[in-house]
Amino acid sequence: MLRRRVEPEGDATVRLTIAGQPVTALRGESVATAALAAGLQFTRNAPVSGEPRAPYCLMGVCFECLMTIDGQPNRQACLVPVQDGMNVEPQMLRPSLGVRDDG
């Protein structure tokens, strides 16, 4: 849905892992925009209906970008700046049970 105008280079580059893939991001941007730039199609599912969701507001209002960052679930990815070595996973919850659906 969004693509990067210019790829980050030099000191401005941050390297992290999103959904198991190595990703380069721009220093100062949020995990949510890095995920969008990396082509991630969704950041979480809706726990009630199971349908995929992606960032909607990118400013901390809608909570659609809840992701698991470095093992901690329910982080608002739009409010967390990217850092080298971060490990980010989309948050998939099984409808109705509210338990993680990845193991």
What residues line the site for other proteins (CB under 8 A)?
A: 1-6, 25-26, 28-30, 33-34, 36-37, 41-42, 46, 48-49, 51-64, 66, 74, 78-79, 81
Please spell the DSSP secondary structure of 43-66, one letter per residue.
Answer: SEE-TTT--EE--SSSSSSS-TTE
Pair type for strands 72-76 and 66-69? antiparallel
User: Does residue 38 contact residue 48 with C-beta atoms inside 8 Å?
Assistant: no
CB closer to other proteins out of 5 and 20: 5
* Closest distance to other proteins from the beta carbon of 103 (Å): 21
* Closest distance to other proteins from the beta carbon of 15 (Å): 15
